[in-house]
């Protein structure tokens, strides 16, 4: 492993001297070998033109340059070349998409403002036309993916479940009729890490088997193991599954009994274990009067040493079955039925304080989730004066969870076991003995079952006024019902984080009409001008914590209203494609967490309004048949218009926070209105640039060079600049050889080792002292892209 790391780094030192920047926008599957004659030009001539990219952003296969909406497309080839192995890593190729801890995503600066699973995600995830209703599904690794589309702005109109901020549409490769093939890849990596570098291996394989002349079976398999990003200094006597292990299998069967009928069935199962890549947490900065340095703990912007004395583990299983039946009528209409069942089981526990002392040792949860969905869609033929689609949709999910959070605030056991704390005392009796036995000094527990039902009818029609001018209108009527059965804080604690022994049995419902109206003008064969205005919708839910006994925990739907104008087209005789868009969207009844000081916990409510506006640009150019360049950029201004109830930080003197000091409670820090603050998970400016160069180097062999550059201005992960992740600039590089059916590539990601966390937050242990004011200590979490990775990748196909 050390030898290939040295070789990769040596190759990288050569690559970074090249003037080009990396990674082209990929084309339809097959790349240059799939080129056919276009507009009278020969395939050889078209080798110097950018190929068409086919997407399903409007629930039908279309050229991305003809789709009147902002969308970033990442092909399967592009994912493989850049080593993009999961949804979190896609952010390096899609500037509008950002990610933080706990599978939280944002588009155009707007994401889910809570870690609670009792509300939907603002950025929805769709795989093979099925909406996934729990963000835990986003942890699954990619395999046999044909393309990923990041659709910017509200997208709930056509895609089933709500997506008020945006949507990630993932399409895997369908079975190929009449062709036996096998393809796969092996990836070995070495990551920079203190004390001892981390290593990893990933293997993926796909077999396509023709069953008959009109049917085929496609089987995918994945195995991956990765060392943790941080170096662990942990208690070996407790369970610590820090490294990750993932494996999965997917089977896809396609049969076309007639030219008009298609039946497509998919079944999959995935299992992963380990906390790395998600719960890798370290200290960034100790606050004034922090007790942590006395225990020999480290802190720093590049600190990657992880310390714990409590168990750390995570086990997740996902799977399901879905079927898509499609029938084409003689008049060109197509009727599709998509039926799906998905399930998820997850169990985790991690040491929340990241210390060898029990300040806040326990954060544990068990999740059992399953969903069923049914969609029926009728599509009108394209090419007529009137085109579009209509549909009905039903979704049901059940989510059962049990959890506990707590710790002893750093007090030694000989102190906590006595009166008045009474943490697992040896003798029970009247004071000064302990009358009760408490589980921990601080504690919070819960168990709940959340059930959700969604019914919808939708439609979108386009009318061609002329051959070049088209108007579009669509609407969706959605009726959502949800019920929550929850019991909180039945355990015994010296300080309960929430309402003790609280029982909640509630239901909520909402009916909404969301819509979209727009027009697009094909000003020339190579230029599309479009604009639209619409309203998005995110369904109701519940807070997972009660602010008072018997309180109403329901939160209202989140509504977004706004529009977009844009240009798409080709330049320089099809050598360059471009997309330019400007957008403005306002969100009302934003579902965010507000801090309740008396309970020392967060409660979810409709506490904010926000606006996001900006500009997006993407370019792809074929300089020659050998060199392709690409670039995309996003400028986003996303801010709260109103956010009362935001928690003051310890020591904060702005926004009236100093006036909230309560002498009777030295731990009181108060709340303020965060109007004007940037939304968490937003960055002003993000860009990605790239270049690919391929040239013959011998008989049947090509040499391949690729470079990629990613820039992101400071990204906020909390309220205030103190939580800003600094500007991030990374360089990816690869050097390899390829033949018709194999390739071998040396690569590095984040070659200059620009170390950046994915989130920064206030530490819970220092923030809740037993005496004196809270201390503002900063913790940070890491992803696999946070550090330099060098590796070797081999692919094969036959």
Question: What pLDDT, on the 0 to 100 scale, is given for residue 439?
Answer: 94
pLDDT score of 294:
85
CB within 8 Å of 470: residues ≥ 6 apart: 462, 463, 464, 519, 520, 521, 522
Q: What is the pLDDT of residue 20?
A: 30
Structure tokens at 340: 């799906």
Predicted pLDDT at 38? 33
Rounded Cα distance between 88 and 200, Å, is 17
* Distant-in-sequence, close-in-space partners of 756: CB < 8 Å, separation ≥ 6: 725, 726, 728, 786
Task: Return the DSSP state at 385.
Answer: S
> What is the value of pTM for the model shown?
0.88
pLDDT of residue 501: 94
Mean local confidence (pLDDT), 150-156: 83
> Does residue 11 have a pLDDT over 50?
no
Give the pLDDT confidence of 482-537 residue by residue, as tens digits.
999 999 999 999 999 889 999 999 999 999 999 999 999 999 999 999 999 999 89
pLDDT confidence of residue 57: 60
Q: Report the alpha-carbon distance of residue 306 to residue 782 in Å, rounded.
A: 11
The least confident of 19-23, 553-557, 621-625 is: 19-23
Say which CATH architecture domain 2-548+558-797 belongs to.
Answer: Beta Barrel (2.40)
pLDDT confidence of 480, banded at 50, 70, 90?
very high
**pLDDT reported for residue 39:** 37
Rounded Cα distance between 585 and 564, Å, is 9
- Give the chain's mean pLDDT: 86
The yes-or-no verdict on residue 601 having pLDDT over 80 is no
CB-based contact 649:722 (threshold 8 Å): yes
Share of the chain above pLDDT 90, in %: 57
Q: What is the pLDDT of residues 615-639, one digit of tens each?
A: 999 999 988 889 999 999 999 999 9
Query: Alpha-carbon torsion 752, 758, 762, 765, what sign?
Result: negative
Give pLDDT, residue 55.
63
What secondary structure does DSSP assign to 47-99, as a single string? Answer: TTSPPP-EE-TTSS-EEGGG-SS-EEEEEHHHHHHHT--SGGGGGGT-TTEEE
Task: Give the least confident one: 16-20, 235-239, 589-593.
Answer: 16-20
Structure tokens at 520: 């697009």
pLDDT digits (tens, 9 = 90+) for 297-351: 889 999 999 888 999 999 999 999 999 999 999 999 999 999 999 999 999 998 9
The alpha carbons of the chain give a radius of gyration, in whole angstroms, of 27
The whole-number pLDDT of residue 9 equals: 34
Cα separation values, 792 from 3, 216, 369, Å: 11, 32, 37
Q: How many CB atoms lie within 10 A of CB 549?
A: 12
Q: Is the pLDDT of residue 10 over 50?
A: no
Residue 593 has pLDDT above 80, yes or no: no
Q: Is the pLDDT of residue 742 over 70?
A: yes
State pLDDT tens for residues 641-662. 998 878 887 777 788 777 655 5
- pLDDT confidence of residue 645: 79
Where helices occur in 666-736 by DSSP H, the ranges are none
Q: Model confidence over 337-379: pLDDT tens digits?
A: 999 999 999 999 989 888 888 989 999 999 999 999 999 999 9
pLDDT value at 594 more than 90:
no
pLDDT confidence tier of residue 23, bands split at 50, 70 and 90? very low
Cβ of 697: how many Cβ atoms within 10 Å? 12
For residue 633, give both structure tokens. Answer: 């950029």
Q: Where are the domains of the chain?
A: 2-548+558-797
Task: Tell me the pLDDT tens digit for each residue of 139-148.
Answer: 788 899 999 9
Label residue 44 by pLDDT band (50, 70, 90): very low
- Specify the pLDDT at position 162: 66
In this predicted structure, the answer to whether residue 34 has a pLDDT above a threshold of 60 is: no
DSSP 670: -
In whole angstroms, what is the distance from residue 126 CA to residue 121 CA? 12
Mean pLDDT of 230-246: 86
Pick the residue with more confidence: 160 or 472? 472
Return the exposure string of 629-647: e unless at least 16 CB atoms fall within 10 Å of the residue's CB, then b: bbbbbbbbbbbbeebebbb
Given this model, what pLDDT does residue 19 score?
29
pLDDT-derived band of residue 67, with 50, 70 and 90 as boundaries? confident
Give CA–CA dist 425/533, Å, rounded: 64
What is the reported pLDDT for 701? 93
pLDDT at 437: 94
Confidence class of residue 63 from pLDDT cuts 50, 70 and 90?
confident
The four Cα atoms 98, 764, 193, 297 give a dihedral, to 10 degrees, of: 160
Chain segment 68-112, per-residue pLDDT in tens: 888 888 888 889 988 898 888 888 889 998 887 677 788 998 887
Shortest CA distance to 199 belongs to which of 182, 210, 187, 186?
187
Task: Specify the pLDDT at position 92.
Answer: 87
pLDDT of amino acid 770: 53
Q: Is the pLDDT of residue 128 over 80?
A: yes
DSSP reduced 3-state for 584: strand
């Amino acid at each position: 492993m050390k030898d290939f790391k040295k070789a990769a780094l040596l190759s990288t030192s050569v690559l970074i001297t090249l003037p080009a920047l990396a990674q082209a926008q990929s084309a339809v599957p097959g790349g240059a070998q799939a080129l056919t004659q276009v507009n009278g030009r020969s395939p050889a001539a078209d080798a110097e033109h950018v190929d068409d990219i086919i997407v399903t952003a409007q629930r039908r296969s279309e050229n991305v340059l003809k789709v009147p909406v902002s969308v970033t497309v990442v092909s399967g080839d592009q994912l493989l070349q850049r080593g993009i192995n999961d949804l979190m890593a896609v952010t390096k190729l899609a500037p509008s998409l950002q990610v933080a801890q706990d599978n939280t995503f944002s588009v155009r600066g707007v994401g889910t403002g809570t870690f609670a699973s009792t509300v939907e995600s603002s950025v929805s995830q769709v795989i093979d036309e099925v909406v996934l209703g729990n963000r835990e599904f986003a942890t699954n690794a990619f395999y046999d993916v044909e393309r990923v589309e990041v659709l910017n702005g509200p997208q709930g109109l056509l895609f089933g479940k709500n997506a008020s901020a945006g949507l990630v549409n993932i399409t895997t490769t369908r079975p190929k009729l009449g062709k036996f093939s096998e393809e796969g890849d092996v990836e070995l990596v070495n990551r920079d890490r203190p004390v001892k570098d981390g290593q990893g291996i990933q293997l993926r394989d796909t077999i396509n088997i023709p069953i008959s002349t009109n049917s085929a079976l496609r089987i995918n398999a994945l195995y991956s193991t990765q060392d943790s990003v941080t170096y662990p200094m942990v208690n070996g006597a407790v369970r610590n599954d820090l490294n990750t292990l993932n494996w999965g299998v997917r089977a896809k069967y396609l049969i076309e009994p007639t030219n008009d009928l298609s039946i497509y069935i998919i079944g999959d199962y995935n299992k992963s274990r380990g906390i790395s890549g998600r719960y890798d947490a370290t200290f960034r900065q100790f606050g004034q009067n922090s007790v942590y340095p006395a225990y020999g703990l480290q802190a720093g912007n590049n600190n990657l040493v992880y310390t714990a004395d409590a168990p750390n583990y995570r086990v997740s299983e996902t799977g399901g079955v879905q079927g898509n039946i499609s029938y084409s009528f003689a008049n060109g209409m197509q009727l599709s039925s998509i039926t799906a069942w998905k399930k998820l089981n997850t169990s985790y526990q991690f040491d929340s304080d990241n210390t060898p002392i029990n300040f806040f040792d326990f954060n544990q949860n068990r999740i059992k989730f399953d969903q069923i969905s049914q969609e029926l869609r009728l599509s009108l033929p394209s090419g007529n004066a009137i085109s579009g689609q209509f549909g009905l949709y039903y979704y049901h999910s059940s989510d059962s969870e049990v959890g506990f959070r707590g710790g002893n605030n750093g007090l030694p056991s000989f102190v906590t076991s006595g009166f008045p704390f009474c943490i697992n005392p040896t003798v029970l009796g009247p004071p000064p003995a302990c009358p009760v036995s408490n589980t921990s000094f601080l504690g919070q527990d819960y168990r709940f079952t959340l059930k959700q039902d969604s019914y919808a009818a939708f439609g979108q029609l386009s009318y061609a006024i002329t051959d070049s001018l088209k108007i579009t209108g669509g609407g969706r009527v959605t009726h959502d019902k949800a019920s929550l059965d929850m019991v909180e804080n039945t355990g015994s604690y010296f300080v309960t984080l929430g309402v003790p022994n609280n029982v909640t049995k509630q239901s909520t419902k909402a009916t909404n009409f969301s819509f979209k109206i727009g027009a697009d003008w094909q000003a020339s064969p190579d230029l599309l001008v479009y604009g639209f205005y619409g309203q998005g919708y995110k369904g109701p839910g519940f807070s997972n914590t009660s602010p008072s006994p018997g309180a109403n925990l329901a939160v209202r739907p989140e509504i977004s209203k706004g529009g977009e104008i844009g240009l798409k087209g080709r330049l320089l005789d099809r050598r360059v494609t471009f997309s330019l868009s400007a957008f403005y969207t306002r969100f009302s009844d934003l579902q965010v967490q507000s801090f309740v000081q008396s309970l020392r916990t967060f409660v979810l409510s409709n506490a904010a309004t926000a606006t996001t506006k900006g500009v997006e640009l993407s370019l792809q150019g074929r300089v020659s048949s050998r060199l392709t360049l690409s670039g995309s950029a996003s400028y986003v201004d996303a801010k709260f218009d109103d956010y009362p109830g935001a928690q003051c930080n310890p020591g904060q003197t702005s926004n009236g926070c100093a006036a909230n000091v309560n002498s009777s409670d030295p731990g009181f820090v108060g709340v303020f209105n965060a109007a004007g603050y940037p939304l968490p998970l937003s960055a002003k400016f993000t860009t990605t640039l790239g270049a690919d160069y391929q040239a013959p180097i011998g008989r049947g062999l090509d040499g391949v060079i690729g470079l990629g550059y990613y820039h992101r201005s400071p990204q906020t992960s909390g309220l205030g600049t103190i939580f800003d992740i600094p500007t991030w600039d990374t360089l990816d590089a690869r050097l390899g050889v390829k033949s018709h059916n194999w390739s071998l590539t040396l690569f590095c990601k984040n070659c200059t080792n620009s170390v950046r966390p994915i989130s920064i937050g206030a530490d819970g242990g220092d923030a809740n002292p037993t005496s004196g004011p809270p201390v503002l200590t900063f913790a940070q979490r890491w992803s696999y892209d946070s550090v330099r990775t060098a590796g070797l990748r081999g692919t094969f196909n036959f």
